[in-house]
Structure 1
Amino acid sequence: MKTQVKALIVGGGAVGTSIAYHLARAGWEDVMLIERDELTSGSTWHAAGLLPYFNMSYATTHIHDYSIKFYKTLEEETGLNAGFSVVGNLRMAQSKERMDEYMLYASTAETCGVPYEWMTPAQIKERWPLVNTDDLEGAIYHPTDGYINPADVTMAMAKGARQRGVMIERKWQADGFEWKGDHWDVTLTKMVEKGGNLVPSDEQIVVSAEHVVTASGNHAQRTARMLGIKMPAIPVEHQFIVTEPDAELVKYRQEGGEEHPVLRDADAKWYVREERGGWILGPYELNAPARFEYSVPDTFRADLFPLDLERIEEEYMSMIHRIPSTETVGLKDDYNGPICYTPDGNPLVGPAPGLRNMWLAEGFSFGITAAGGTGYYLAQLMVEGEAEIDMASLDPKRYSSNWMTTEFAARKNEEAYEHVYILHHPDEERPACRPLRTAPAYDRQKARGAQFGFVNGWERPNYFGPLDAPDSFDHDARSFRRGGWWEHTKAEAEAVRNGVGLIDATAFTKHVVKGPGATAFLDWFTCNKLPKVGRINLTYALTAMGTTRTEYTIVREAENQYYCVSAGAWTEYDADYLRKAAEEKAEEFGYIEIQDVTTQWGVFAIAGPKSRDVLNEVIKDADPATALSNKRFPWLSCREIELGMCPVKAIRVAYTGELGWELHHPIEMQNYLFDLLEKAGEKHGMKLVGARAQNWLRQEKSYRAFGNELGRDATPLEADLPRFVDLDKDFHGKDKLQETGVRSKCCTVLIDGPEDADPWGREVLYTEDGTRVGRLTSGGYSVHFGKSIGMGYVKPDLAVEGTKLKVKMFDTLWDATVTCDSPYDPKNETIRKDG
C-alpha cells in the first residue's frame, strides 16, 4: 500500500469511485481510494438506483445529464454491465399548477440540452394501460433515463479507475487529518471483523496526500469533526417496498407490453418502477426522521432500520389508486435506510472552508444520479482550477459555520426530504428553523406586513403584504405565474421610481481589508481600478480561469483600509476566498488584515426621487441644506454622516438605479434609525420595499447580479462589463480572461409575454426561426416599461440592441427584443440628480 499519493479519496460508494475514476482520466497519477468496509456498503447498496433528470438547478441538471450519458459508456470500457435499464421517466401531474411547474423545469432542461416530451392522459393510458389516468392533467416524459443497479455501476467505475491506475484499498478507515503546509497526513486504521461488527485494529499507517477528497456519505459528521469544520450533511430515513409479482403486470408484459417507465406521481409523493414482475414503491412521506446526527454507530454497517408502514400508508394507498392492479399484491421486501441530505437537497461539492487541498463531496440525496457528473466536474475543479459550469450553487460554504448547527441541519434535512415532491415554486420559502438570524428591525418590519425570505440564515423582507393577512399569506401567495405577492411588489417598485422606498439590506456581506499590504493585494485581487480615499468602485475578484468569482463594492476609507461589500448569500464563500488569497500573497505584498464585520453593520438602502428629501429631515450637519448635494456628496462616494443620534457610513449608490444611498449603521442602533427614517418619510410617502421589487428595478438598469449573470462560468467581459476591467494593470486571472475572449454575451431583453406571468430567469432564448441561442439568468416585470423584462446570455452577434428573439414560457414562444444596456435612464441622470 502506497504511503505517498497525489490524491486520496475517502469513501467507496458511487460518488467516491466516480471521483477516483475521473481524476485518473483527467491525467492524475497516484490516486488512491480507501473504504472502511466494502465498496457500496454505505447508502449505495440500498439505493433504488433511479436516474431522474428532474432538478430545478442548472448546475445539478448538467451533473445528472453527464451521469446518465456516462453510465451508458461503462460496459464498453470495462466489460462490466452497469445494469442500466433505459425505460424513461414519466412524471405525472394531477393539477394545472403541477404542469406549470413542469413547464418551468422544462426550461432548465432545455437550456442544458436534456430531451423531454409532453404526454396527455390519453397518450399515457394508450401506452401503459395499467395506469389510472382519470384524474391526471398530463405528464412530462424523459425517454433517455431510467434506473440502474447501484452496486453494478459502482463496481464498473471502480474497475475503470483501476484500469487507469487508481489504487483501491478496502477495510481502511480515515482516523485523522493533519495539514503539513504542502500536503495532508492522513492516519488510516485497518478495520477487522469481530463478532459480525467492523472494529478498528491496532494497525495504523499514515498516508501523505497532496489532495484529499471526502465522500464519506453517512459518516459526514464524523469527517467534519476530524477536519474541524461544520457541514449540514445528515442522513434521513428513506423507505421503499418491493411487492410480489402483479398478475396483471405479468400478463401485460407477456402479451408484449413495454416495460413501464419509472412512474412518478409528484402530487401523491412517490415513485414506482417495475421489479421482476412486481413493483418498487418509494414514498417521500411526512415525518421521516434524521439519523446519525453526530456519528454512525460502529455496529451499523450494511444495515437497515425497521419499516414504519403506518408512516407511508397514505402513499401506499395512492399507489393502488394509480395502479389498481396492485391492490391484491403482497409485499415481498422492504428497505428503510439512511440517505444523506442537506437543507436545500443539493450536495456539498467543492473546497472545504478554511482548508487547502481538502475537497468535499458529501450530502447526496440522489447519489447514484449525481455520482458520475460529480466526479467529472469535481475533477475539473481540482485539476484545472474551475469546472466548465458554475459550481457555486453546490459549494459547501453556502452554509456558514457562523450560524449553521447540527440541530439546524437535522431539522432542515427532514424538511428537504418531505419537500422532494412538493410544488417547487420559484418564490418558495420553507418554514423549518425560522426565524433564525434576525436583524433588530425584524419585528418592526413583520408588524408592517413583511413577508420574509431566507438568505444565508438571515430573514430578509421579500415584499410587504397586507397588514391584516395571517402568517400563511406568503404561502398562499406563491405561484408559477403572478402570485398574490405580485401587486404588492409592483406598488413597491413604483414607489421607488416615483417617490421613495426603504429597503433592508442588512444581509449584505461586509469585510474590512486593511494593513500595509492591503492596497497592493486588492489591486492584484480585483480587476478594476481601486477608488481614491472617500470614493467607491464596483469591481470583481476573478478565478484563475478569468471568470467571475465575487462581485465587490469597495469603499476606500483610508490609504490602506477598505470596506468591501458583497452579496449577502455568500458570506463564508467570499470570506474563504479572500482570506486564502491574502495568505498566499502576504509575503509578496506585506501584512494584510481581514475582518468579517457583516454582523456589526446594519444596512438600509433609501432610494427614489424623494430620498434626499427624507434624509434632509434628519441629517445633522453644519449646513444641512447642502450636506447631501452633489458638490459635498457626489455619486459613487462615501461619507460619515449623522442621522439624528445615529452615526452612519453613507454610500451614494443605489442598486435600484434611482437617486439613493446605502446607510450602513451600527447594528445595535438599527431600531432607532428605522423609527427615525419611518417618521421622516411619512410626509414624503415613503414605502417599505422588499428584495423582489429591488430585483425588478435592477434589471431595468441592467445591473448584473452575482449568482445570476455573474458567476464562475463567464468572464466580466462576457458579462459585457468592460468598463469595470482595467487591462492596463496586472490582476489575478487576467491572462485567462484575455485568452477566453467572449464566447457568449450578457444582454437585457424586453418581453411581450403572457398577461399573467413573467420569466423567472431560467427560460430558453431562441431566434425567430426557432434556433436555441441562449438562456435567461434573471427575469421579472418592469414597472417603467409595463412589460416583462429579463437578462441573459446569447451568442455575441445577437447581443445587439434591436435584435428580435423569442423566449419560451409555459411551452410557448413569446416575442423578446434586445434593448440597450440600462434601458431605464441610460445616461444615469436620475442617479446623479442634484439637490
Structure 2
Amino acid sequence: MVTHARAVVVGGGAVGCSIAYHLCKAGWTDTVLLERDELTAGSTWHAAGLLPLFNMSYATSHIHDYSVKFYQDLAGETGMDTGFFRVGNLRMAQTEARMDEYRLYASTAETVGIPYEWLTPKEIAERWPLVRTEDLKGAIFHPTDGYINPADVTQAMAAGARARGARIYRKTQVDAFERTASGEWIVRGHIVADKGGILQAKQPFEIRCDVVVTATGNHAQRTAAMVGCYIPAIPVEHQYIVTEPDPALVEWRASNPQHPVLRDADAKWYVREERGGWILGPYERNAPAWAVFGVPETFRADLLQLDLDRIEAEYLSMIHRIPSTENVGLKDDFNGPICYTPDGNPLVGPAPGVDNFYFAEGFSFGITAAGGTGYYLAQMITQGEAEIDMWSLDPRRYGPWINRNYAARKNEECYEHVFILHHPDEEREACRPLKTAPCYDRVKARGAQFGQVNGWERPTYYADTPDFDDHAARSFRRGGWWRFAEAEARAVREGVGLFDVTPFAKHRIMGPGATDFLDRLTCNRLPKVGRINLTYALTEAAGTVRSEFTIVRHGENDYYVVSAGAAEAYDGDYLRKMAPADGSVVIQNVTTQYGVFAIAGPKAREVMEAVTFAQDPAAVYTNKAFPWLSAREVDLGMCRTLAIRVAYAGELGWELHHPMEMQNYLFDRIVAAGQGLRLCGTRAMNWLRQEKSYRAFGSDLGRDATPFESGLDRFVDMSKDFVGKTALETAGIRARCVTLLIDGPADADPWGREALYESDGTTRVGRLTSGGWSVVFGRQIGLGYVDPAHAAPGTRLKVRIMGALWDAEVVEDSPHDPQNLRIRADSPARR
C-alpha cells in the first residue's frame, strides 16, 4: 500500500468511485480510494438504479443531468457495460395541482436544457396500454431518463479511475484522521482479512495526504465524528419489491422497446421493468430512521427486516395503475438503509471547522447524483470552486444546534415527502417549533404563519385569524396567503410595517487585526465609525460572490457583521477559517444574543419618534442627525437598541438590533406606539425588495456569478486588494442580472425558477432567480440572469409561467424610487 497521496477518498460506493475518477481526470492522478469492504457494498448494491432528472433545484438538476450524460459516455471509455437503459421516465398526475408542480419543474428543467414532453391520458394509453389512465390528468415524460445497474456503473467508474492513475484498496478500514502541524492529513486504519466469513484485523496502515474526501454513505456520522463534526446524515429504511414476470408485459415487449419508468407521485411510488416483471419502490409514511446513533461495525452488505404491511397501500395502488400485476407473484423483496438529510439534499463540500477535508454524504438518490457530484466536487477541490453554485448542498447549511433526534425525525419526514407536492411555499411541520424568538407567542396570536430558516420560526405572512390553515393556503399559483402578503406590501409602501427578522446571522469581529482582516476579506471599502456598508466576500478562485455582509463599524477595530440567517454556520466557518492564526482577530457569534425588528415605510420615522422618550435629546431621526446608512445606539423606552438606518423593503426605515431578553418589551412598545402599523412577513418583504432590485443571497447571488455579473459594481472597490480580486479582473461577463416586469397570468406569479426566452419565444436566453408580485406596478416582477446581449433596459423577453410564455420587459434597476428619494426622505417638520 502507498504511504503518500495527494487525495484520499474514503468509501467505495458509486459516489466515492465517481469522486476518485473525476479527481484523476482533473489531474490529481495521485489519488487513493479506500473501501472497508468491497466496492458497492453499501447502499449502492441494493439501489434500484433509477436516474430521475426531475428536480426543483437548479444545482441538483445540473448534477443529475451531468450524471446521465456521463454514464452514457463511460461505457465507451472503459469498455465496460454500465447497464444503462434509456427508457424514459413517465411522471403521472392524478390532480391539477400535481400538473402545476410539473409545469413549474418543466421551466426549471428548461434552464438546464433537460428535454421533456407533455402527454394527455389518452396519449399515455395509446403509447403504453398496460397503464390505466381514466383517473389521470396527464403526465410529463422525460425521454432521456432511465435506469442503470448500480454495481456495473460503479465498477466502470473504478476502472476509469484506475486507468487514470488512482489506486483503490478494498478491505481497508479507516479508523482515524490526524492533522499535522504542516497541514498534512494522516489517514490511519487497518487492512481486514476475511477468513471463512469472519472479518479479522490484519495490519495497520497510514497514508499522508493533502486532502481527504469522505463518501461513506450510511457510516457518515461515524466518519464525521473522527474530525469532531456532527452531520445530520441518518439512514431511513427503504423497501422495494420485485415481481415475477408479468405475462402482459412479456407479450407487450415482444414487439415494443422497454417500458419507461413509471412514477405515480400521487400514489407515492415508482415502478420499472425488471426481467419481464416489475420493481415497485414506494415512499410510504412511517418509514423509520435506522441506526440513529451509528451503523453497527459489523453491518456491511446487509439488509433489514421486512415490514411489507407498511407498503400495502402502495402495492395495491400499483395493481390499480397496472392491472396486469394483480395476479403476478412476488419474486424478491428488499429493505435496505438509504441515507437522508433533513432537506433531502446531500452534504457536498468543506467540512465545518476543518481545513482540506470534504464531505460527500447523505445521498438519498446516490446513483443519480454520483456522476455529477464527482465532477463538481473535483472542480471545487482542484480549482477552488465549482462552475455552479453548490451552496444548497454545502454541509455548513446546517448549524451545530442540530442533533440526532432532530435529524432522525426530519429525515423520516423527508423520506415520506419524496412524492408529496413540493410547493415553492412549502413549510414542513416536523420538529417545529424549535427555535423561537421571544415574541413568537405574541405574533402567533396576531395571525402569524411561520416559515423556518436555520431552525428559527419566522413569520412569512399574517392571516386574519390565528387558526388560519396555512397548509391549505399553499399552491403553485396564488395561494390563500396571497391576499395577506399583498396587503402587507401595500401597507409598507403607503404607511409602515414591522418585520421580525431575528434569524439574521450576527457576528462581532474585534481585535487589533480586525480592520485589516475585514478589509482584505471583502470587496467594498469598510465604513467609517458609526456608519454601515454592504459588502461581499468573493471566492478566491473565481471572483464570484461567496457571502454577503452588512458591516456596522462600532470602533477602529470593532465591527458588527450581519448576514443571511440561513448562512450562520456557513459564514461563521468561513470567517474563522480565514482569520489570522496569531490571535489578533476575535470572532464571536452573537446571533442568539440579539433580536432584530425592521420598521419600514413612509411613516417609519413617526413610529421611531413615538417609541423613543420624547424628552430624550438624542431622539432625533432627521437626515442630519441620523443619516441613511448610519448606525446609532438609541434608547427605545428602557431598551438600549442598535438602530441601523437601512431597510431591505426599499423605504424609509430602521433595523432595530436589541437584546433578545428585552424583545417582548420592545415589541409591545412599538405596537402600542405605531398608529396604523401593520405586522408583515417575509413574503411581502421578498416582493418589496425586488421592486428595488435588491439581490437576495442564495438565489440571486451565489458562487456562480461575479459581483459585476450580478450588478453589484458600486459595492466593489478595485483600488484596494481583496480576496478574489485577481480572479475578478479576468473573469469577464458571461451573464447579467436584470430586473423584469412581467405581464403574466391573472392567477399565478413567478417563483424564481422560470426560463427566459427571446421575444419570439424560440431561443432561451436566461432564467429567473426571484419572482413575485409588484404592488407598485400592478404586474409580476422578477430578477434573473440573461446573456449580455439581452440585458439592456427595454429589451422584450418571454418568461414561462405555468406552462405558457408571457411577455416580460427588462427595466432599469430599482424601478421603484430609482433615486432613493423615499429612502432618504427627511421629516418635513425638521427638514
SS at match of 1:805: strand
Structure 1 counterpart SS, 2:331: strand
Q: Which letter maps to 2:627?
A: P
Distance 1:208 1:654 in 2: 51
| Separation (CA, whole Å) in 2 of partners of 1:451 and 1:202 | 59
Q: Which residue of 1 aligns with 2:224?
A: 224
SS of 1:474's partner is coil
Instruction: Name the residue aligned to 1:785.
Output: 777
Q: Which of 425, 448, 451 is the equivalent residue of 2:449?
A: 451
Alignment of 1:355-754 (within 5 A): 355-401=354-400, 403-470=401-468, 473-544=469-540, 545-583=542-580, 586=581, 591-620=584-613, 623=616, 627-681=620-674, 684-754=675-745
Q: CA distance change for structure 1 residues 162 and 648 in 2, over 3 Å: closer, same or farther?
A: same
What does residue 71 of structure 1 align with? 71
Percent identity over paired residues: 69
Aligned-partner Cα distance in 1 for 2:253–2:142? 21
Q: Deviations over 1:167-202 (max 9, x none)?
A: 000011111111113111111112233563435x15
Report deviation, 1:622: 5.0
1:8-40 superposed Cα distances (whole Å, 9 cap, x missing partner) = 000000000000000000001310000000000
CA deviation string 1:480-518 (max 9, x = no partner)? 000000000001101110111000010001111111111
**Contact preservation (8 Å) 1:198, 1:298:** no
The letter for the 2-side match of 1:657 is G
CA contact (8 A) 2:446 2:466 kept: no
Q: Is the 8 A contact 1:59 1:389 kept in 2?
A: yes
Corresponding residue to 2:820 among 800, 804, 828 = 828
Q: Secondary structure at the match of 1:709?
A: coil
Matched residue SS, 2:822: coil
Give the unaligned 5+ runs of structure 2.
none
Q: Which residue of 1 is the match for residue 234 of structure 2?
A: 234
Q: What is the SS of the residue equivalent to 1:715?
A: coil
- Name the SS of the counterpart of 2:37 in structure 1: coil
Which of 796, 812, 835 pairs up with 2:804?
812
The C-alpha deviation readout for 1:220-269, integer Å capped at 9, x for no partner, is: 11112211111000000000000011111111112x02211000000000
**Segment of structure 1 superposing worse, 623-632 or 638-647:** 623-632
What CA deviation, in whole Å up to 9, does each residue of 1:533-552 have, x standing for no partner? Answer: 00001100000110000011
Matching residue within 751, 757, 771 for 1:760: 751
Contact 1:118 1:141 survives alignment (8 Å):
yes
Q: Is the 8 A contact 1:616 1:625 kept in 2?
A: no
Does structure 2 retain, via aligned residues, the 8 Å contact 1:64–1:369?
yes
Q: Is the 8 A contact 2:444 2:466 kept in 1?
A: no
Aligned to 1:196: 197
The residue type equivalent to 1:563 in the other structure is Y
Residue 709 of structure 1: how far off its partner (Å)? 1.1
Rounded to whole Å, the distance in 1 between the matches of 2:328 and 2:29 is: 52
Q: Which residue of 1 aligns with 2:292?
A: 293
Shift of 1:287: 0.5
Whole-Å separation in 2 of the counterparts to 1:351 and 1:103: 34
Contact 1:616-1:624 within 8 A present in 2 as well: no
Question: What one-letter code is carried by the residue in structure 1 that aligns with 2:236?
Answer: V
TM-superposed CA distance for 1:65, in Å, is 0.3
What is the distance in 1 between the residues matched to 2:570 and 2:487? 34
1:663-716 Cα distance to aligned partner (Å, 9 max, x none): 0000010011011111111xx210100000000000000000101111000011
Once the two structures are superposed, residues 127-169 of structure 1 have per-residue CA deviations (whole angstroms, 9 ceiling, x without a partner) of 1100001111111111012000000000000000000010000
Q: Counterpart in 1 of 2:250? A: 250
**In the TM superposition, what is the alpha-carbon distance from 1:623 to its structure 2 partner?**
5.0
C-alpha distance in 2 between matches for 1:56 and 1:264:
16
Distance in 2, Cα, partners of 1:251 & 1:778: 50
Q: Distance in 2 between matches of 1:12 and 1:721?
A: 43
Residue matched to 1:60: 60
What are the residue-to-residue correspondences of 1:42-191 with 2, within 5 Å? 42-181=42-181, 182-191=183-192
**Superposed counterparts of 1:210-359, under 5 Å:** 210-254=210-254, 256-359=255-358
Question: Does the CA contact (< 8 Å) of 2:445 and 2:466 recur in 1?
Answer: no
CA distance in 2, matches of 1:36, 1:808: 49
| CA-CA distance at 1:621 after TM superposition | 6.4
CA distance in 1, matches of 2:285, 2:194: 37
Tell me, yes or no, if the aligned pair for 1:765 and 1:774 is still in contact at 8 Å: yes
> How far apart are the structure 1 equivalents of 2:198 and 2:387?
43
- State the Cα deviation string for residues 454-497 of structure 1 (Å, max 9, x = none): 10010010011122525xx1100000000000000001101110
Contact 1:504 1:690 in 2 (8 A): yes
SS of equivalent to 1:72: helix
Q: CA deviation at 1:3?
A: 1.0
C-alpha distance in 1 between matches for 2:103 and 2:198: 49
> Aligned equivalents of 1:655 and 1:128: distance in 2?
52
Distance 1:197 1:358 in 2: 32
The DSSP-based 3-state class of the residue aligned with 2:333 is strand
Q: Which amino acid aligns with 1:10?
A: V
3-state SS of paired residue (1:475): coil
Q: Which runs of 5+ in 1 are unaligned?
A: none
Matched residue of 1:599: which SS? helix
Secondary structure in structure 1 of the residue aligned to 2:226? helix
SS of match in other structure, 2:53: coil
Q: How many residues align?
A: 824
How much does 1:301 deviate?
A: 1.6
In structure 2, how many angstroms separate the alpha carbons of the residues matched to 1:365 and 1:289? 14
In the alignment, is the contact (CA less than 8 A) between 2:539 and 2:724 conserved in 1? yes
Cα distance in 2 for partners of 1:130, 1:624 equals 81
Deviation of 1:801 after TM superposition, in Å, equals 1.2
For the aligned residue pairs, the C-alpha RMSD in angstroms reads 1.1
- Establish whether residue 799 from structure 1 lines up as the match of residue 794 from structure 2: no
Q: Which residue of 2 aligns with 1:5?
A: 5
Letter in 1 for 2:397: R
User: Does structure 1 conserve the Cα–Cα contact (< 8 Å) formed by 2:341 and 2:407?
Assistant: yes
Tell me how far apart the structure 2 counterparts of residues 377 and 40 of structure 1 sit (CA, whole Å): 21
